[in-house]
Chain A
Amino acid sequence: MNDKQVIASRIALELKDGDLVNLGIGIPTLVANYVPENKKVIFQSENGIIGLGPDKGEDNYIVNAGGLKASIIQGGAFIDSATSFTFIRGGHIDVTVLGALEVDQEGSIASWIIPGKLVPGMGGAMDLVTGAKKVIIAMRHTNKGRVKILKKCRLPLTAFNQANLFVTEMAVMEVKEDGLHLLEVNPKYTVKEVIEATEAELIISEVMPMKGVEDEN
């Protein structure tokens, strides 16, 4: 498995039977590929689908939140954007998985703007991290060697203190009241290597091997 696959397959283990889940663009989209068939997870897409399915090459007007062709599963529904964000902001989404440029030990997320450089906009991300019951951040541990998991985000925030779990190719970390806990480490790396690649203060008690990747190593 490559880094992206490690992250996506680990996050898939967090999804429970019956969960309504919104996946962001990029690595988060891959999570859908790793949900076992015996688990019924419903995907919501903020442009207006309950029950998002993959592109089946059909001639239709269905796109996902990235504007790419998609399908709808049996029992699904098409909704308008206001209803879509009633789901999102109103606390009716169980899990959202999003990428980030930076995160910090307080659970804050920065993902939508690098001032003076890149201004893609926040799209639905600010509403998703504010309203979803559980917020999982899927991202590479560092950006070409530069730390991304910080004591305090330096880029403008998407939201303050809203993330619950960070999953990278190196580790799984949970944001709790007392700080950021290191829960699991990919057996390809040592705890020391994870600490060195992380600026945030990691609370370490019992560290487990990262689930879903053990067999590969």
Chain B
Amino acid sequence: MTNFIDELKFKKLLKDGMKIHVGGFLTNGSPENLIDLVVESGIKDLTIICNDGGYEGNGVGKMIDNNQVSKLIASHIGTNPNVGRLMNEDKLVVELVPQGTLVERIRAFGAGLGGILTPTGLNTIVAEGKQIIKVKDKEYLLEEALGADLALIGGAIADNFGNLKYLQTMRNFNSMMATAAEVVVVEPIKIIEEIDPENVITPHPFVDYVLVGEPNE
């Protein structure tokens, strides 16, 4: 069952060393209030999984700026100069993953699969140290499923049951990340009575908590 919680209860879920999925694409659909609360909590040594490194002062960039992140798993870090700087200073480990592989690894975890076989990354440094598996004479890379302790979801309208639908391009990584973490918390743009069952994208059993507070317009 989905529980509706306030900021205080959300902060109690946070621990040092957590592995956290953060939805959004270049901060479109990013759960900015939940990220602010993580920054306020001061938890450290986080592994953050996000499509990108956000921007300086925006998206996951806020946790990176605050030196809370020890590892970032992302497909692109070019929009946030702090990521490259901290990486060069050996203060942040960055694992770059092709975008399609990243989302599919997350989807696989949520679906109870051990990993995926993809042609993306063959003959590149992405393939280094990974198993190559032949299926019907075609080679694929074995990429492992990628789950997390916590998923922070944004870009959604929630209903009173905890069902979610997403606005425009803000679905991106959010709907997959909502399936692939021990605890899933949503920061809704607004909460309505009921989403038409035909339009529910993330059904409420995936959603543990909905943050109630100031709307994030």
Contacts and interface: CB of A to CB of B under 8 A. Distances in A.
Interface of A: 45-49, 60-63, 65-67, 70, 72, 78-82, 84-85, 88-89, 112, 119-127, 130-131, 156-161
Contacts of A78: 166, 168-169, 171
A94 B41 CA distance: 47
B171 A119 contact: no
Contacts of A48: 25, 169, 171-172
Given A89-B120, A127-B120, A61 B155 contact: yes
Q: How large is the interface on B (under 10, 10 to 19, 20 to 34, 35 or more residues)?
A: 35 or more
Interface centre among B27, B87, B120, B175 (most CB of A within 10 A): B120
B169 A126 contact: no
Interface of B: 25-29, 51-52, 74-79, 84, 87, 94, 96, 98-101, 103-104, 107, 118-126, 155, 166-176, 201
Contact of A158 (B27, B51, B124, B176): B124
Nearest to A156: B125
A81 B172 contact: yes
Contacts, number: 137
Given A122-B99, A123-B99, A80 B176 contact: yes
Contacts of A157: 123-125
B179 to A, nearest CB: 10
A61 B170 contact: yes
Contacts of B74: 121
A119 B84 CA distance: 7
Nearest to A116: B88
A125 to B, nearest CB: 8
A80 B77 contact: no
B119 A130 contact: yes
